[in-house]
Amino acid sequence: MSNVAEVRAIDFWSRELTDEEADQLIEKAVSEISKRKLISPAILFLEMHKPLGYIGSQAAIALSPFIVPFVGFDFVNNYSRLFSKRENIEKLIVRLEKAREEAPS
């Protein structure tokens, strides 16, 4: 394993996401969910699993050796940090509801 890969593997959660980074990740998620027309199911899923957000983020780290080859290290690291805080999940839900209202009928 190269030194860069070793350092990145140790870098899980080395720092908190800034508000700007969290907002960028939320906007990216909203964009992808909207593109697939899955806003309502996503809101339902997030509302149902909001209390488990932190546990899910920890599970993503534990399962990262199996997830990273498919979605990449940065994706797992960033979204596990994003979903570790309940307020970020709430921000995502609010942004999805806003996107649903703005979507053409």
Does a structural domain hold residue 44?
yes
How many helices (H) and strands (E) are present in the chain, helices listed first? Answer: 7, 0
**Cβ neighbours around 103 below 10 Å, total:** 10
Does a structural domain hold residue 14?
no
**pLDDT of 69-89, one tens digit each?**
999 989 998 999 999 999 999
Residue 7 and residue 3: Cα distance in Å, rounded?
6
Q: Is the pLDDT of residue 6 over 80?
A: no
pLDDT (0 to 100) of residue 1: 47
Least Cα distance to 41 among 101, 100, 86, 88 occurs for 100
> In terms of pTM, does the model score above 0.95?
no
Residue 19 and residue 16: Cα distance in Å, rounded?
9
pLDDT (0 to 100) of residue 16: 86
Q: Which two tokens stand for residue 57?
A: 């983020």
Residue range(s) defining the domain that contains residue 35: 19-102
Q: Is the pLDDT of residue 13 over 80?
A: no
Does a structural domain hold residue 3?
no
